[in-house]
């Protein structure tokens, strides 16, 4: 194997590992919405300077 073949092999392994991590890696835990009188309520946190009157 010459240097270009090794470089292609390393690049392929790195990209494959990145794709596997992106699709199958750990994700933040989901939160359950509160259900009251058959209505789901969920708090929405908006970060930044925008504060809407209605969502």
Strands (DSSP E) contained in 7-51 are 34-36, 39-41
Each residue's pLDDT expressed in tens, for the chain with a length of 55 residues: 899 999 999 999 999 999 999 999 888 888 777 788 888 887 777 777 766 677 6
pLDDT of residue 48: 74
Per residue in 16-30, pLDDT (tens digit) is: 999 999 999 888 888
**Residue 15 belongs to what H/E stretch?**
helix 3-24
Contacts of residue 46, Cβ cutoff 8 Å, sequence gap at least 6: 52
- Domain locations along the chain: 3-41
pTM of the model: 0.49
Residue whose C-alpha is closest to residue 55's, from 23, 15, 45: 45
């Amino acid at each position: 194997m010459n240097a270009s073949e090794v470089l292609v092999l390393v690049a392929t392994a790195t990209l494959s590992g990145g794709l596997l991590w992106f699709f199958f890696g750990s994700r933040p835990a989901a939160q359950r919405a509160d259900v009251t009188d058959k209505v789901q309520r969920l708090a929405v946190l908006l970060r930044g300077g925008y504060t809407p009157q209605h969502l």
